[in-house]
Chain A
Amino acid sequence: MSATAEPLLKLDGVQTYYGSIQALKGISIEVHEGEIVTLIGANGAGKSTTLRSINGLNHPRHGTIRFRGRDITQTAAHDVVRMGIAQSPEGRKLFPRMTVVENLEMGAFQRKDRHALPEDMERVFTLFPRLAERRNQKAGTMSGGEQQMCAIGRALMARPTLLMLDEPSMGLAPIFVQRIFDTIVEVNKQGTSILLVEQNALMALEVANRGYVLETGKVAMADDAKALAQNDDVKRTYLGEI
């Protein structure tokens, strides 16, 4: 990436509130084309709120968000998807009374190229063979790990330019965590930029190009992922090393 090119996504001084409570106190981050960027930090640091500010579910009160050079600060959530940002949200938020296949189809709801859907669905099933086995099961009756795969698959079905993943390893058995991170790298290689929110900072910093450490609604540190993984403060606080 060249230093002069405008980033794919750029948040500048974003302040977001829940009612009268300020959750983000001026977040500035960037995601460049082709990157995996991770946000790490403790519970309540503002990671998920940052994603909700970007995807239009919780518009910032101050600051700007630009995506591919366009201001999307106040863009409605359903238009943000159309512009190329898809998300696997916190808590998965699948449609519980729809089957796996129906959920995946919902992921592609706004796409015009309906003919390409079967191919994309096969791609999701290749990434997550477990979903293929459960294709006709109601999403609400699946295990947490299977739901997580379905949520990621659903976001992929939108064929996004930027894929945002909120805690993709949450509630997964270790073997699946490895699988999910392999998948993230795989998807990124196929050309999708990724903004990854993770509690599992060790794994996140391993796959990411760059990372931001969030603390109480502010960016506390920003650096290359490798440098962050070697940082003593980060090690002590987020990687569980002494």
Chain B
Amino acid sequence: MPTVAALLVALLLVWLAINLAKGPAYFTNIAFIGLTNGAVYALVALGYTLVYGILELINFAHGDVFMLGGLISATMISAVFGVTTKSSTGFLVLAIVCTLFIAMIGCGVLNAAIEFVAYRPLRGAPRLAPLITAIGMSFILENIAIGWKGPGYTALPNVLPKGDVFSAGGVTYTWEKLIVVLITAPVLAALVYLVQRTRQGKAMRATAQDRDAAAMMGINVNRTISFTFLIAGGLAGAGGLVYALYFGQLRYDSGYQLGLIAFTAAVLGGIGNLPGAVLGALCIGFIQAFNEGLRWHSPGSDWTESIVFSILILILVFRPEGLLGERTPEGG
């Protein structure tokens, strides 16, 4: 079996190398697309992994929190701030920053409220129970979105500048892609700082590793769990804004599709592991972009999901703990 896997990886690398040789500039442009998509996935994947790390719960409603974040962002940008393609850069930046905060706070509070209403009463119940309520919450949020925006797509004007940041020898990097990274990177850096360096982050890590022991250390476990949902929701809100800006439209079920990909990314990287979620998200972003973009013998977009999940299966067979996950006695 390991030889089969090694062979597959070798084939993949050869395929990438030939594509790179046939058009280095084109290949790089496609990689930029993968990086940008991966950044959006990372924001959502981190929410799955944070919540799983602390509760061992797959929060199926998380993708829908992201979707509502996108709808809130679209509404803020186009209806509240009234940003158009003709708006000045200064006003655009102001509107985006304000919307970022509103979407993050809104989704954070929403996510913490979901935990309080739907998961906390089931804390002592068998694990299947909160899983089912999570699916239920997902449907409720989608129906709220339909009730608010209707079943159609909510679009927002193409407000991000499409100009080139740089363009050399056929390699171009556009402003809209840079802006996605410029929003994502500080949010990720703040998260790492929060978890690694602050007292609250310490409480989160302790609660994730042993809830009873954390309580015995004087940590308010319920408050720490609420805080974790708040942070996860905030990341989903940021993801919603970035998605709305970059892809320009979304609707009630956008969170289902992207949530599934982001959840896969979290498992790929090692669920519960923060750098793993980012790595998994970037991997899937690249896989998707290369598969759909490269010209030489690429399977094409019809195959993207099959490929993503085939890779997931292979990873789980050979490294059940994910790319960066740790082998723990509990079997995680």
Q: A residues touching B (Cβ–Cβ < 8 Å)?
A: 55-57, 76-79, 81-82, 86-87, 89, 93-98, 106-107, 109-110, 140, 154, 158
Asked whether, in the complex, the Cβ of B212 is within 8 Å of the Cβ of A78, the reply is no
Residue of A nearest to B210 (CB): A93
Known: A109-B202, A140-B329. A78 touches B218 (CB 8 A): yes
Report if B213 contacts A (CB, 8 A).
Answer: yes
Residue numbers in A under 8 Å from B210 (CB-CB): 93-96
A96 with B216, Cβ < 8 A, contacts A106-B202, A109-B202, A140-B328 known? no
A-B contact list, 9 entries, CB within 8 Å: A55-B216, A86-B216, A89-B212, A89-B216, A97-B209, A97-B328, A98-B209, A109-B202, A158-B218
A89 and B213 contacting across the interface, CB-CB below 8 Å: yes
Give A123 to B212 CA distance when docked, in angstroms. Answer: 26
Contact code string B315-328 (vs A, CB < 8 Å = 1, else 0): 00000000000101
Give the top 9 A-B pairs by smallest Cβ distance, nearest first. Answer: A110-B218, A77-B215, A93-B213, A81-B218, A95-B209, A109-B217, A78-B220, A78-B218, A106-B217
In the complex, which residues of chain A have a beta carbon less than 8 angstroms from the beta carbon of B205? 95, 97-98
**Among A94, A97, A109, A154, contact of B219 (Cβ-Cβ < 8 Å):** A109
- Judging by beta carbons under 8 Å apart, are A87 and B216 in contact? yes
Within 8 Å CB of B221, what residues of A?
A: 77-78
CB within 8 Å of A: which of B196-228? Answer: 202-203, 205-206, 209-210, 212-213, 215-221
Query: Of A56, A79, A81, A95, which is within 8 A of B206 by CB?
Result: A95
Min CB distance, A239 to chain B, in Å? 31
**Complex formed: what's the CA distance from A42 to B308 in Å?**
54
Residue of chain B at shortest CB distance from A164: B216
In the complex the two chains form, what is the Cα distance from A104 to B203 in whole Å? 14
Among B209, B215, B326, which residue has its beta carbon within 8 angstroms of that of A78? B215
Q: Which of A57, A89, A96 is the one whose CB lies under 8 Å from B209?
A: A96
Q: Interface SS of chain B: helix, strand, loop or mixed?
A: helix
Instruction: Across the interface, name the chain A residue whose C-beta is closest to B203.
Output: A109
* CB contact under 8 A between A77 and B209, given known A106-B202, A140-B328: no
Cα(A140)–Cα(B213), bound, Å = 14
Closest Cβ–Cβ distance, residue A56 to chain B (whole Å) = 7
Which residues of chain B are near A106, meaning CB under 8 Å? 202, 206, 217
* Chain A residues, CB < 8 A from B215: 56-57, 76-78
Q: Known contacts A57-B216, A77-B221; can you find 19 more A-B pairs with CB under 8 A? A: A55-B216, A76-B220, A77-B215, A77-B216, A78-B215, A78-B221, A79-B218, A81-B218, A89-B216, A95-B205, A95-B206, A107-B217, A109-B203, A109-B218, A109-B219, A110-B218, A110-B219, A158-B217, A158-B218
Which residues in B have their C-beta under 8 angstroms from that of A86?
216
Contact present for B328 and A96 (CB under 8 Å) = yes
Which residues on the B side are within 8 Å of A95 (C-beta)? Answer: 205-206, 209-210, 213
Contacts of B329 in A (CB 8 A): 96, 140
Complex interface: chain A residues within 8 A of B203 (CB): 109
- By beta carbon, the residue of chain B nearest A154 is B217
Residues of A with C-beta under 8 A to B212? 57, 77, 89, 93
Q: Which A-chain residue is minimally distant from B330 (CB atoms)?
A: A96
Chain A residues near B216 (CB-CB < 8 A): 55, 57, 77, 81, 86-87, 89, 93
List CB contacts (< 8 Å) of B290-332 with chain A: 326, 328-329
In the assembled complex, which residues on chain B have CB atoms less than 8 Å from the CB atom of A154? Answer: 217
Minimum Cβ distance to chain B for residue A197 (Å): 15
Q: Which chain A residues lie closer than 8 Å to B328 at the CB level?
A: 96-97, 140
Q: Considering the chains assembled together, what is the distance between the CA atoms of A95 and B202 in angstroms?
A: 11
- CB neighbours (8 Å) of A94 from chain B are 210, 213
Q: Which residue of B lies closest to A86 (CB)?
A: B216
Q: How far is the CB of A114 from chain B (nearest CB, A)?
A: 10
Q: Please, which residue of chain B has its CB at the minimum distance from the CB of A87?
A: B216
Contact between B209 and A82, CB atoms less than 8 A apart: no
> Which of chain A's residues have a CB closer than 8 A to the CB of B219?
78, 109-110
In Å, the complex CA distance between A6 and B87 comes to: 74
Closest-CB distance, B165 to chain A (whole angstroms): 40
Give complex CA distance A178, B212 in Å: 29
The docked-state distance in angstroms from the alpha carbon of A154 to that of B206 is 13
Select A110's contact among B213, B217, B326, beta carbons within 8 Å. Answer: B217
C-alpha gap A78/B225 in the complex (Å): 14
Are B220 and A81 interface neighbours, CB within 8 A?
no
| Complex alpha-carbon distance, A81 and B219, angstroms | 9
